[in-house]
A = this chain, B = another copy of it.
């Protein structure tokens, strides 16, 4: 019974950075501490994070960058509802920064306690992921995915044509789309 139930549920692969975790706010904050000035949103729009923030790589490699990232607005409540109706997996590119692995798992445990360890995937390439729906802020992940693709707006992708992907800017839009 439960097994049939699981099989009938559509599977969603949800990205962390730039979808659940507000990494831009981390970059803005740390960059301001380092330089004394807060960058404008305009100045970082249309380029990848590590190009937009001069010290971005140092920040990503520093302790607690991922552990203390702010949570994206409305994501907790809406992901919990998705978790009731879908088979949710959190799929995060993490192995490029090995220290991030345990930080990301602890962060999920704190902010999304309904997500069990069975639903977590920390990888490099997402080409190996099989799901019905993918929510991600990077074209490199969405472009090769064969299911339904939802592009979460972030400054780095804001100027690009979403193409075949459905662009959303807030979790409230995901709620309308999927719930």
**Nearest chain B CB to A63 CB, angstrom units:** 13
Say yes or no: A117-B124 contact (C-beta < 8 A), given A101-B105, A105-B101: yes
Taking the complex as formed, is A123 at the interface, i.e. its CB lies under 8 A from any CB of chain B? yes
Q: Would you list which residues of chain A between 69 and 120 have a CB under 8 Å from chain B?
A: 89, 91, 94-96, 98-99, 101-102, 105-106, 116-120
Copies of this chain: 2
A46 to chain B, nearest CB (A): 25
Sort chain A's interface into a size bin: 20 to 34
Which B residue sits closest to A94, measured CB to CB?
Answer: B122
**CB < 8 Å neighbour of A89 from B120, B122, B128:** B128
Closest to A120 in B: B95
